[in-house]
Amino acid sequence: MNHITHEDVRCLIIGSGPAGYTAAIYAARANLNPVLYEGIQPGGQLTTTTEVENFPGYPEGVTGVELMEDLKKQALRFGADIRMGIATASDFSASPYKVTIDGEKVISAETVIICTGATAKYLGLPDEHKYAGMGVSACATCDGFFYRKKRVAVVGGGDTACEEALYLASLATQVYLIVRKSFLRASKVMQERVFATPNITVLFEHNTLGLFGEHGVEGARLVKRKGEPDEEEVEIAIDGFFLAIGHTPNSDIFKEWLETDEVGYIQTIPGSPRTNIPGVFAAGDVADPVYRQAITAAATGCQAAIEVDRYLLEHGK
Please list the active-site residues.
Answer: 139, 142-143
250 Cα distance to chain centroid: 9
6: buried, middle or exposed (CB in 10 Å: 19+, 13-18, 0-12)?
Answer: exposed
Counting every residue written for the chain, the total comes to 317
Do 134 and 215 contact (CB within 8 A), yes or no?
yes
Whether 282 and 273 have beta carbons less than 8 Å apart is answered as yes
Helix/strand number for the chain, H first, E second? 7, 19
CB 215 within 8 A of CB 130: no
Strand 62-63 relative to strand 232-237: parallel, antiparallel, unpaired? Answer: unpaired
C-alpha pair distances (Å), 254 with each of 89, 206, 246: 8, 37, 20
Contact 30, 111 (CB under 8 A): no
Which one-letter amino acid corresponds to residue 244? A
**Tally of CB atoms within 10 A around 99:** 23
d(CA 21, CA 297): 10
Calpha distance 34→159 (Å, rounded) = 38
Helices (H), 122-239: 126-130, 140-143, 159-169, 188-195
DSSP assignment letter at 230: T
